[in-house]
Amino acid sequence: MIYLDYSATTPVNKDVLDSFVKASLEFPGNSNSLHTLGVRCNKLIESATKQIADIFKIKETEIIYTSGSSESNNLAIKGVCMKYKNRGKHIITTHYEHSSIYGPLSYLQSEGFEVDFVDSDEFGLVDLKHLESLMREDTILVSINAINSEIGILQPIEEIGKIVKKNPKCFYHVDLTQAVSKVDINLENVDLASFSAHKFFGIKGIGGLIKKEKIVIEPLIHGGKSTTIFRSGTPAHPLIVSLAKALRLACDDMENKYNKVLELNNYLKEKLNKYDNVYINSNDKCIPYILNISIINIKPETFLHALEKYEVYISTQTACSSSNSLSKSVLDLTKDEARAKSSLRISLSYLTTKDELDKFIEIFDKCIKELTLNGKNN
């Protein structure tokens, strides 16, 4: 098997899984219980929370545990807007967000909120001057992801934060899902940030929302004691422990991991550039972990399933996107409908090897020739 879909999800690190199993079997209590087992479970959570807070350079009280980034994004966006709607109902975002951003924004529009989309430059980066011009007295939230999950565009998070902070009534939310363990993000001017364990070799079903201490949000889930008043439910201490372990391991030696992936990315681009009908959509402002390409005249689903026969796995768009044949992110970046209709995402990790890429190119070449010969096109 050649797995090149790490941006969709990562395989669980065995040490992380071992932590989960140990916490589940040796600490079977409910952390809300007053007996000894409950106290032990609560101490596990406190220890894990401290580790996570230290890595993000935030306070322990600023972490809300969720089921993952989709819940975190919904909690951040709905939570802020419903709590502070008396300040205004204007929201700003980009054309490069995840569906779990657009979903709650669409809901809020039905509740009378107004959403503006900031322009981007030829690289897909936020136009800072346009963002500044969109900011209004009644702007309550700016939500912009750190890294686009489909193309890999890395946004200037710090510069955006400085602009947002000029309006003391406005909050700044950053979706960190594709950034954690890959690049360092300064959260000084960020009010809320979402992340999910399964993107950095953790277990599915656990993630978090970083919420700065002075901010109050309206919960999505009410009732039941938890680690915070902002998200009810029995704390899943085995998952929380595993999240801390995954984060610690993933962030270890981050620079060397990045450089290895960059080398692999450059090698892969060099191999793909020889095909006349293959276009590389990811640019120099993108992280090397994601390489988005378009194969003109071959449907992306057709090519994906052709690779699948050889146990090679990549993506069309993002795993959580709707069944839409056109990539809005690629269209916005390239202004080319043909490329937007035929885009594929190859995502790498530090576990990827050059031998795997050589084998991938060999199979890629075989599939592209077979499909072109058989006329399996758009």
Strands 278-280 and 290-295: antiparallel
Higher-pLDDT residue of 171 and 223 is: 171
Phi-psi map region of 311: left, alpha, beta (phi>0 left; psi -120 to 50 alpha): left
Place 320 in a pLDDT band, splitting at 50, 70 and 90.
Answer: low
**pLDDT-based confidence at 340, cuts 50/70/90?**
very high
Q: How far is CA 107 from the centre of its chain?
A: 21
Positive/negative CA dihedral, 100, 102, 107, 108: positive
Q: Which residue has the higher pLDDT, 336 or 33?
A: 336
Position with higher pLDDT, 317 vs 154 = 154
For residue 372, the model assigns a pLDDT of 84
CB 181 within 8 A of CB 194: no
Residue 235, pLDDT > 50, answer yes
Asked whether the predicted pLDDT for residue 318 surpasses 90, the reply is no
Mean pLDDT of 341-367: 97
C-alpha distances out from residue 40 to 29, 46, 47, 232, Å: 8, 10, 11, 20
Residue 373's pLDDT band (boundaries 50, 70, 90)?
confident
CA–CA separation, 222 and 201 (whole Å): 30
pLDDT attached to residue 34? 85
pLDDT of 117 reads 98
Calculate the average pLDDT of the chain.
Answer: 95
For 37-47, write each residue's pLDDT tens digit.
899 999 999 99
What pLDDT, in 10s, does the model give residues 4-18?
999 999 999 999 999
- CB-CB neighbours of 132 under 10 Å: 12
Express as a percent the part of the chain with pLDDT over 70.
Answer: 97
Looking at beta carbons, which pairs linking 370-377 to residues 24 or more positions away fall under 8 Å? 370/306, 371/298, 371/302, 371/303, 371/306, 372/277, 372/297, 372/298, 376/298, 376/299, 376/302, 377/297, 377/298, 377/299
DSSP annotation of 191 reads S
Residue 378 has pLDDT above 50, yes or no: no
**The pLDDT value given to residue 33:** 87
Question: How far is Cα 378 from Cα 363, in angstroms, rounded to an integer?
Answer: 21
**Cα 232 to the chain's mean position, in Å?**
24
Which has the minimum average pLDDT: 114-123, 152-161, 188-197, 323-332? 323-332
Is 194 within 8 Å of 209 (Cβ atoms)?
yes
Q: What is the arithmetic mean of pLDDT over 183-202? A: 97
Q: Give CA–CA dist 284/192, Å, rounded.
A: 27
Residues labelled as active-site residues: 320
Q: Which residue has the tokens 């040796």?
A: 26
> Has residue 173 got a pLDDT over 70?
yes
Identity of the residue numbered 17: L
Tokens standing for residue 368: 């592209």
